[in-house]
Structure 1
Amino acid sequence: MGLAAQLAVPASLADQAYEGIRDRLVMLDIRPGDPLNDDALAQELGTGRTPVREALKRLEGDRLVVAYPRRGTFATAVDITDLAHISDIRAQLEPLAASRAAENSSAATRARLADLAEDVAGLEARISDRRELLRRDVRVHREIYRAAGNPYLEDILVRQDNLATRIWCLFLDRIPAIAGHVGEHVALLEAIVEGDADTAGRLALEHVVGFERAVRAVL
């Protein structure tokens, strides 16, 4: 079970369906353009059709699925032309979230982030699966957003990071430095734990810029 799952409060069936389908869409386990079948997803997730339908409505708002009358619901395409728009938002808000996390985190949150930094520091030696490394990257981002203490900021950034991760997945096999990219989070997490808001903000910005640069280098 992942760290986020261990720390989460019990979720409703609709929330479980939403998170399960969302993460499949983000990691491209459900490929862009694939149809989403209510019955098949309900059986796979064990949640029933109504929670799946509620989840799909939420995911449409996240720009992860699109519904067409009389045709059904499909995973949205990954459009590389969206990269500049997504990066523009993240370049403004990721540093803000990191700075706020450094300023506002409780002792318990700092301890959790310190443990996460230690885990990330050894990833390259322990994990060679690029998709698993990317899942760890997503986990770190979500933990930092939550630590910022602003649920509205967290919501925006989770959505944008989901879209960015889909782009990353599209080029995952062509980008050589995925482990190094994830490893950048160690210094960022340590800055947050130490309460160094300026350094945390700067490192968050460098991370976002580095992501866009790495993707554009393989286009």
Structure 2
Amino acid sequence: MTSSTAGQGQGTLAEQAYRSISERLVTLRIRPGEPLNDEKIAAELGFGRTPVREALKRLEHERLIVSYPRRGTFATEVQIADLGHISEVRQELEPLAAALAAERADDSQREELSRLLTQLAQTPDAGEDLIRLDMTLHRAIYAATRNPYLEDTLVRYDNLATRIWCLFIDRLPGLAGHVHEHGPLLRAVIDRDADKASALAAGHVEGFEAAIRAVI
């Protein structure tokens, strides 16, 4: 993700633990309100307890888990009332990120975006693989901004938005269409068309909020 979390040794283990636990929380494999035990998670992931505890601290800062004295640590509830607040942030920052990615992505990042564009065309139109790909696409664009602060902020808000999405996924008929909207966006970034990338990102966020509000 960022230079601060991509170090060697213990930092790498903490980042791996963060990614593994975060994905489970975001996709609701760890259900809202479910308790988390650092010793059990460490055993499941094959890590020591220290990197897991570091990951849990980061996840608490990102509002994916919450700890209570003498009660333990739990996955946070998905608060639908937060949808508007999350969307306000994303409506400003997602278009900015798309434009910056179009302007700043280096050759290796454009190659990765091209690979993801091909993968998107080959991915089935349903299932957890599609959700994971959606998250991967967003993170590739965020990384291409070459702004670690913007990247970290957007990962955090995309995680919160994806949890809301996963909560209603059985009632959202347009999952495949929502994810495949990234095709033109990726192409605009690859082609260095910042204005088009920005407009497509704005429309994507607006469409996401509208789809959720239609089923709540």
TM-score, normalised to structure 1, is 0.92
Q: CA deviation digits over 1:2-45, x for unaligned, max 9?
A: xxxxxx88762211111111111011010000000111101001
Runs (4+) off by over 3 Å: 8-11
Is 1:13 the counterpart of 2:13 in the alignment? Answer: yes
Query: Equivalent residue for 1:150?
Result: 147
- Residues 143-198 of structure 1 show CA distances to partners (whole Å, capped at 9, x for unaligned) of 00000110000000000000000000000011001111110001000000110000
Distance 1:181 1:9 in 2: 34
Contact preservation (8 Å) 1:130, 1:172: no
Partner of residue 202, structure 1:
199
Aligned residue number for residue 102 of structure 1: 102
Counterpart secondary structure, 2:77 = coil
Preserved contact between residue 24 and residue 30 of structure 2 (Cα < 8 Å): yes
2:205 and 2:100 map into 1 onto residues whose CA distance is 17
2:170 aligned to which of 173, 193, 208: 173
Quote the RMSD (CA, aligned, Å): 1.3
Structure 2: which 5+ runs fail to align?
Answer: 1-5
Conserved 8 A contact 2:185-2:200: yes
Q: Which moved more, 1:165-174 or 1:53-62?
A: 53-62
Distance 1:192 1:163 in 2: 24
Distance (Å, rounded) in 1 between the aligned partners of 2:40 and 2:152: 28
Q: Is the 8 A contact 2:126 2:175 kept in 1?
A: no
Unaligned runs of 5+ in 1: 1-7
Distance 1:9 1:100 in 2: 25
Q: CA deviation at 1:94?
A: 0.3
1:47 maps to 47
Q: Aligned partners of 2:16 and 2:122: how far apart in 1? A: 30
Matched, 1:115 2:94: no
| Cα distance in 2 between the residues matched to 1:66 and 1:73 | 6
How many equivalent residue pairs? 209
Letter in 2 for 1:165: T
AA in 2 matched with 1:178: L
What SS is found at the alignment partner of 1:70?
coil
Query: How far apart, CA to CA, are the structure 1 residues paired with 2:16 and 2:107?
Result: 29
Q: 2:185 aligns with which of 188, 205, 214?
A: 188
Identity of aligned residues (%): 59
- CA distance in 1 between counterparts of 2:203 and 2:71 reads 42
Query: Letter of the aligned partner of 1:60 in structure 2?
Result: E
Which position in structure 2 is the counterpart of 1:93?
A: 93
- SS of 1:66's equivalent? strand
> Which residue number in structure 2 is paired with residue 3 of structure 1?
none
**Residue equivalent to 2:215:** 218
Q: Distance in 2 between matches of 1:58 and 1:9?
A: 15
1:103-126 alpha-carbon deviations (Å, 9 max, x no partner): 111122112111211211232xxx
Alignment partners' CA distance in 2, 1:52 and 1:73: 13
The one-letter code of the counterpart of 2:53 is R
SS in 1 for 2:31: coil
Amino acid aligned to 2:74: F
Hey, what does 2:37 align to over in structure 1?
37
Measured after TM superposition, the shift of residue 129 of structure 1 is 3.5
2: CA distance, partners of 1:133 / 1:186: 13
Which residue of structure 1 aligns with residue 160 of structure 2?
Answer: 163
